[in-house]
């Protein structure tokens, strides 16, 4: 194993950030988390015994002393954001831009000032918007953001990729598939997890456009992708965009329901073909680039992730899943 590194993670108490932190601490790296703790800090409790772990409660948009916090860091993983189109719609465009675009600029400038070597930015495959039927979406595909959330992620990417790594950190943008699975701060407002929670509650699932396809990835595999980017030769990841996922996990909502019924056989489902005016993405996403460049692959499929959710919910491992801290926004129409 290579020598330990120092990571600063914005949004490190969140769904993905807490899982990344767990992976880094497990291999002996030093981690500093920057987070507003808007959803509480329970996800950090298991990390407190680690001597190589620290955290600070800061708001990126409030001119926090970011460069000082990032001093001597090797890598910044920028996760802090208003995440998802419902949360961004609720907050409004101005607030979304302030957090997701201006916040990203502040993080980059602080990282450059602190002499950080790398910056990994968590973006989204929602940037692609709507694609032609059957078209395989790659990193070179046109961006057609359909929400203020996706627009803000595109704008943040454009800012970061326009910067020079000769005067600042090497930037890598990761367009994540829809994330699922259990983490120290599990969210139940993402499609797979939300479906599992509704199934556990014996609620009827009302599914719109059941043949629409989405790309999915387990939260632990997201963490692994970020570690591989951080460890890769700088020249392989500098200024690069990677879709993060696996074609084997590109699934329709109908296929997802069938997997849920393996764990919850009594699950009732009502299929609706009409448009509901929400997120209408239906995409076939290619992950060939990250597989080729970084030899990256996922390890947890949908069936395993759903079984994990079933176990966690059935055994009561997640305290009060109905609490707002397990959601970035109200339940979605799906």
Can you say whether residue 115 is alpha, beta or left, with left for phi > 0 and alpha for psi between -120 and 50 degrees?
Answer: left
The pTM assigned to this predicted structure is 0.93
Q: How many residues make up the chain in this entry? A: 334
pLDDT at residue 332, as a whole number: 46
Which CATH code is given to the segment(s) 6-179+216-244?
A: 3.40.50.720
Please state the domain extents for the chain.
Answer: 6-179+216-244, 180-215+248-282+300-326
Looking at 3.90.25.10, 3.40.50.1970, 1.10.10.10, 3.90.850.10, the CATH number of the domain 180-215+248-282+300-326 comes to 3.90.25.10
- The residues, any chain, with a CB within 8 Å of residue 318's CB and separated by 6 or more, are 182, 186, 312, 326
**Mean pLDDT per 10-residue section of the chain, whose length is 334 residues:** 87 96 98 92 93 94 86 96 74 79 94 97 89 80 85 93 89 97 94 93 83 91 98 97 96 93 93 60 87 98 97 90 72 43
Tell me the CB-side half-sphere exposure of residue 185, using CA atoms within 13 A. Answer: 25
Rounded distance between C-alpha atoms, residue 250 and residue 213, angstroms: 7
């Amino acid at each position: 194993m290579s020598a330990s590194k120092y990571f600063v993670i914005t949004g490190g108490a969140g769904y993905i950030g807490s899982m990344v932190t767990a992976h880094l601490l497990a291999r002996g790296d030093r981690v500093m988390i920057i987070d507003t703790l808007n959803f509480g800090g329970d996800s950090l409790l298991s990390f407190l015994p680690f001597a190589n772990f620290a955290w600070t409660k800061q708001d990126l948009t409030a001119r926090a002393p970011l460069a000082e916090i990032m001093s001597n860091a090797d890598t910044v993983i920028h996760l802090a954001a208003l995440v998802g189109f419902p949360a961004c719609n609720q907050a409004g465009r101005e607030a979304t831009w302030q957090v997701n675009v201006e916040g990203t600029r502040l993080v980059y400038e602080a990282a450059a000032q602190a002499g950080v070597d790398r910056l990994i930015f968590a973006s989204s495959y929602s940037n692609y918007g709507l694609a032609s039927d059957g078209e395989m979406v790659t990193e070179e595909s046109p961006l057609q953001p359909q929400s203020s959330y996706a627009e803000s992620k595109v704008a943040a990417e454009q800012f970061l990729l326009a910067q020079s790594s000769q005067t600042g950190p090497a930037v890598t943008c990761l367009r994540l598939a829809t994330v699922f699975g259990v983490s120290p701060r599990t969210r139940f407002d993402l499609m797979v997890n939300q479906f599992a929670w509704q199934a556990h509650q014996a609620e009827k699932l009302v599914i719109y456009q059941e043949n629409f396809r989405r790309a999915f990835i387990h939260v632990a595999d997201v963490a692994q992708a970020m570690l591989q980017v951080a460890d890769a030769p700088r020249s392989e990841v500098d200024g690069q965009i990677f879709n993060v996922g696996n074609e084997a996990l590109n699934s329709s909502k109908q296929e997802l329901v069938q997997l849920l019924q393996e764990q919850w056989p009594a699950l009732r489902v009502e299929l609706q073909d009409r448009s509901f005016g929400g997120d209408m993405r239906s995409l076939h996403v290619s992950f060939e680039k990250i597989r080729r460049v970084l030899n990256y692959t996922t390890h947890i499929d949908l069936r395993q992730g759903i079984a994990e959710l079933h176990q966690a919910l059935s055994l009561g491992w997640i305290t009060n899943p109905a609490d707002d801290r397990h959601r970035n926004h109200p339940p979605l129409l799906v």
